[in-house]
Amino acid sequence: MAHMDMSNMDMTDMDMDMGDGHMMHMGNLKRKFWVSLILMIPVILMSPMMGAKLPFQLIFPGSDWVVAVLGTILFFYGGGPFFSGAKAELQMKRPAMMTLISMGVGVAYIYSIYAVIANNVFHVTPMVNNFFWELSTLIVIMLLGHWIEMNTVMNAGSAVDALGKLLPQEAHVVDEQGNLTDVNLSDLQVGQTVSVRAGEQIPADAEIISGASDVNESLVTGESKAVKKAAGDSVIGGSVNGTGTFTAKVTGTGDSGYLAQVMKLINDAKSAKSDSENLADRVAGWLFYAALFVGILSFVIWLTVANLAVALPVAVAVFVIACPHALGLAVPLVVSRSTAIAAQNGLLIRNRNAMEQVNHLKFALMDKTGTLTMGEFKVNHLVSFDSQHSEDDVLRLMASLEKGSSHPLATGILTAATTKDLSFTAASDTHQETGLGQFGTVADTTYGVVSVNYLEQNNLDYDRDQFTQFAAEGNSISYLVADKQVLGLVAQGDQIKPAAKMLVTALKKQGITPVMLTGDNQETANKVAASVGIEDVQARLLPEDKERLVQKYQETGKVLFIGDGVNDAPSLTRADIGMAIGSGTDVALESADIILVSSDPADVIQFLDLARATQRKMTENLWWGAGYNLIAIPLAAGVLAPIGFMLNPMVGAIIMSFSTIIVAINAMTLRIKNVPAE
């Protein structure tokens, strides 16, 4: 996908699954429907409806043969997709929808040919009614249902097309001499420098080198407000530049770009089956065997108590009414709609089964930094404990160790050093000990920027009263160590996100207990937790500690874990629902089930609301797709025959098709709630 512009896609080139593995071309389906409809008109004008001749019908000598010829063409041409689908199902030993349809129209066709020959060659008395009227209308209705289905699926997936259209056709590439050259987007490469003018769409994922602007990312992330961007900030390809102009270095394009990842996630989600879809498939299989049993049984009974002319239409009605066409659409249409809505609102669903866990959630475990807080640290206190190292020396050494790191605490240190105009170079032999600190060599001395956990594990002395004082103010504290000696510290403050308290309140209202898990100190964790309303706080945790706690909480209920998708990867994987929150291009996609492009905690509630609405629509559609069989199959078998009511095959086809249309409409009414900001 070097070039993702899909604006020229011909929608008639879309394919649709007509059975297990059998694909049908959209253009072919549309053509088959119209040709079959034209063939159906003379058939219904020249053949009896439900065995009765109507005043407007054209009955003349030889009309039966004309109907038989037209019906045969219609049977093989219009019914072709269903026969191919049935063949695929039988080859996989999983008979379902297509097999039932084929059985219904097949029985009707064979009996109708027999009726024409018996009436016109052997002149049997009384005459045998044919079922070409029912056969033709059944095939046309089935084709119409599939056409409606395909259009619905295509509309539900239109978000993918919209994402592909976000990218411009060309990019303004800046060469080493500062000259601008317009190149096709497909030729744009990572590492090139591009210029983005006011009002233009950003051609690819990039990092701003110079200039500043307000960028509208609403079509990509769902964030309605323009976001201020300046040198060092990342921008997403497809978002719209505001009034400023900037140059940026391309970091992702083609398959590596954010939009490409989004489109892949959507398509993967649509192609993968969830537990609900597997249940729908099993129900369809049960319906097949139930219909086969009831159809054969009713045929035998009616053949015994009446005759073949009565028994056959009863069996056909049973087979037609039980077709699980609507059942096959019940879950996929809702999933397609839900996935598209989620993507438009910055919610990327990687694992659809995760959505089906929402109604059973009991705990929401969340990281502090980046989830409840902004993750934008500011140095509030800088202290030196060693006479040979000034405060600036402490900050300079810490900046050397943290140079190149993207951790929020590291960013705060680097920002402070840059603000004070301190010169520093990256340390050598740097390495990280997860949950403890960053280490490296500066001027032949090994230093470390470490947490209080490291000090206590290595029995290093530090001023506990000072630590408690700074931590109680809500600061995260990092120490500079060398040769088993504590040289200094920085205390950095973070701001709580505006929507954090709303998230916690909403979770409690939904019966979900919020729990804070953080590697930060207990005092800072307590302060943040108290501000947002969380009572259960677990602090000073390593990544493996968080994973252990996820397992512990899972012993009493389903767990949602919300983290940054990098250090929290084990917990994201372990939880029943792993939700990575943060900028889309930095999220560890391989760990999370759900990815929130924006860092707004309100998106968590949007996801939960969307997931519940999706589950509700799935349940409703499963009932529409299969529930009517509880009444319709017995009626088709003739249980009300003693009071004079018999369900005709045509009526069965109409009921089944109405169910399909209702399922499609119900899926398209799925909406996402907008969570108001506090």
Coil/strand/helix, residue 199: coil
Which structure tokens are listed for 392? Answer: 């600036």
CA distances from 560 to 87, 525, 551, 612 (A): 43, 20, 11, 14
Question: Which structure tokens are listed for 51?
Answer: 């065995």
Query: DSSP 3-state assignment of 20?
Result: coil
Which residues, 6+ apart, have CB-to-CB distance to 119 below 8 Å?
64, 127, 128, 130
In what helix (H) or strand (E) does residue 210 lie, and over which residues does it extend? Answer: strand 205-211
CB count in 10 Å sphere of residue 259: 25
Note the maximum CA span of the chain. Answer: 119
Q: Encoding tokens for residue 382?
A: 């800088």
Which amino acid is it at 559? V
C-alpha 365 chain-centroid distance = 22
Query: How many residues are listed for the chain in this entry?
Result: 678
441 contact partners, CB below 8 Å, separation of at least 6: 427, 428, 429, 430, 447
Report d(CA 360, CA 374) in Å as an integer.
29
Classify residue 282 as left (phi > 0), alpha (psi -120 to 50) or beta: alpha
Complete DSSP assignment for 227-262: EEE-TT-EE-TT-EE-S--EEEEEEE-GGGSHHHHH
CA distance 322 to 289: 10
On the question of a cis peptide bond just before residue 126, with omega within 30 degrees of 0, the verdict is: yes
**In angstroms, rounded to a whole number, what is the distance separating the alpha carbons of residues 648 and 652?**
6
Q: How deeply is 182 buried, as exposed, middle or buried, from its count of CB atoms within 10 A (0-12, 13-18, 19+)?
A: exposed
* CA atoms of 162 and 665, how far apart (whole Å): 22
Whether 17 sits among the annotated catalytic residues: the reply is no
Cα distance between residue 578 and residue 150, in whole Å:
32
Q: Considering the candidates 64, 281, 367, 603, report the single residue annotated as catalytic.
A: 367
- φ/ψ bin of 370: left (φ > 0), alpha (ψ from -120 to 50), beta (otherwise): left
The closest of 556, 514, 552, 553 to 535, measured between CA atoms, is: 514
Q: Which residues are catalytic?
A: 367
